[in-house]
């Protein structure tokens, strides 16, 4: 039996992990387990004051337990890849590991008052999105699908925490084949 692992970094609060775990269990129809991951401070880039996403993702891939089908690392650190100003997350396309950053999903990041329900909903969607990539899904043109590419929170808010029918079908096919 293979599990979906949620890899918690120390700074992440309980409600976010629970929300992500429950949503992933429902949407992927798999049992979810949690694992504590070491800090990603080593990936800090002093020049950009952000964390290198690719290096953090490599760490997650190394920490994959043997009974893990997929592992999603969850961090509060703001992630980047060199060519982009930021990323909400990154995944090994069709691989085992993914990482999602909650930093830019919070209203506080944009100077607004905290709104926990909105934050948790965004966390669910981005978690599904990054895990979707590990199941081989690419970006979807349906704007409400979790696999739609969001480059800002406004777009995330217009997505649903679910896959559209074609993406859902691809997901099932991938799960059956692997």
Partner 1 sequence: MKLHWQILVVDDEEVMCESLAAWLREDGYTVDTASSGREAVTKAAHRDYAIYFIDLKMPGGMDGIETMMQIRKQRPDASIIIITAYATVDTAITAMKEGAQEYIVKPCNPEEISLLVSRIVKVKNLQRENSILRKKLSRQYVFHDIVSKNARMQQVLTLAQDVASLRSTVLIQGESGTGKELVARAIHNSGDRASQPFVAVSCAALAETLLESELFGYEKGAFTGAAQQKRGKFEMADGGTIFLDESGDISPKLQVDLLRVLQDRAFYRVGGSEEVRVDVRVIAATHVNLQQAVAEGKFRDDLFYRLNVIEVRIPPLRERKDDIPMLARHFIERLAHELGKDISDLSEGALRSLLDYNWPGNVRELENAIERAMVTCRARQLGEDDFAFLTQSTAAAQFAIPAGMTIEEMEKLLIVATLDRTMGNIKESARVLGIDRSTLYEKIKRYNIQR
Binding partner 1 (rule: CB under 8 A), the pick from 35, 76, 118, 166 is 166
Q: Which is nearer to partner 1, 69 or 140 (CB)?
A: 140
Q: How far is CA 105 from CA 46, 88, 110, in A?
A: 22, 8, 9
CA distances from 139 to 31, 56, 142, 157, 167 (A): 25, 22, 9, 16, 9
Closest CA to 7 of 148, 130, 156: 130
To which H or E segment does residue 132 belong?
helix 116-134
In the complex, the smallest distance separating the C-beta of residue 134 from partner 1, rounded to whole angstroms, is 11
Say if CB 171 and CB 146 are below 8 A apart: no
Q: Which stretch binds partner 1 (CB under 8 A): 12-20, 48-56, 66-74, 117-125?
A: 48-56
Tell me: does residue 80 bind partner 1 (CB under 8 A): yes
- Minimum Å distance from CB 115 to partner 1? 23
Residue from 46, 49, 66, 82 in contact with partner 1 (CB under 8 A): 82
- E strand or H helix that includes residue 168: helix 165-177
Residue numbers 115-154 binding partner 1 by CB under 8 A:
133, 138-139, 149, 151-152
Residues forming the site for partner 1 (CB under 8 A): 48, 53-54, 80-87, 90-91, 93, 133, 138-139, 149, 151-152, 166, 169-170, 173
């Amino acid at each position: 039996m293979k599990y979906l692992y949620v890899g918690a970094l120390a700074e992440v609060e309980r409600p976010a992990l629970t929300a992500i775990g429950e949503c992933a269990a429902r949407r992927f129809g798999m049992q979810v387990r949690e694992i504590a991951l070491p800090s990603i401070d080593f990936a800090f880039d002093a020049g950009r004051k952000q964390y290198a996403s690719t290096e953090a993702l490599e760490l997650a891939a190394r920490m994959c337990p043997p009974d893990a089908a997929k592992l999603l690392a969850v961090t509060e650190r703001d992630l980047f890849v060199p060519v982009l100003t930021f990323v909400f997350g990154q995944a090994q396309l069709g691989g085992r590991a993914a990482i999602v950053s909650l930093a830019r999903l919070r209203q506080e990041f944009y100077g607004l008052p905290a709104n926990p329900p909105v934050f948790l909903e965004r966390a669910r969607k981005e978690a599904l999105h990054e895990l979707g990539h590990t199941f081989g899904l690419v970006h979807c043109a349906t704007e409400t699908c979790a696999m739609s590419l969001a480059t800002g929170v406004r777009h995330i808010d217009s997505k649903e925490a679910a896959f559209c029918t074609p993406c859902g079908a691809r997901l099932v096919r991938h799960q059956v084949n692997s």
